[in-house]
Amino acid sequence: MNVPQSSLSETVAGEVRANLARKRRSGRSVALELGWTQPYMSRRLNGDVPFDVNDLAAIAEVLDVPVGVFFQKPDAVRTAPTKTPAATLALAA
């Protein structure tokens, strides 16, 4: 898989932001909990500076998520699959 580094960094930053939102946490609150400054976290969340693996591991621990969630494809469906009504299936047969 040949993904440009900037694209991967942007994807990871987006997934960190999404997981912060899912957990109803701000970047500032997580930064403070980790002993980081708000600008340190902000530069990474905005994509100005890439997250390093130690940053991601620390954030994952605070959010209680596996670190791999930050590497999901942005176009992945994150909702439960919908069920097709039986009547529709009967009409298709």
- Please compute the mean of the pLDDT values over residues 80-84 and round it to a whole number: 48
Whole-Å CA distances, 44 to 40, 47, 70, 80: 7, 5, 13, 30
Q: How many domains does the chain have?
A: 1
> Does some domain include residue 88?
no
Q: Is residue 56 part of a domain?
A: yes
Range of the domain at 26: 5-69
Q: Establish if 75 belongs to a structural domain.
A: no
Cβ partners under 8 Å of residue 35, min gap 6: none
Alpha helices in the chain (DSSP H): 5-22, 27-34, 38-45, 53-63, 86-92
CA–CA separation, 55 and 41 (whole Å): 9
Asked if residue 85 belongs to a domain, the reply is no
**Mean pLDDT calculated for residue range 41-67:** 96
- pLDDT at 87 (0 to 100): 52
Percentage of the chain lying above the pLDDT 70 cut: 71
CATH number of residue 51's parent domain = 1.10.260.40
Question: Is position 40 within any domain?
Answer: yes
Q: For the whole prediction, is pTM greater than 0.85?
A: no
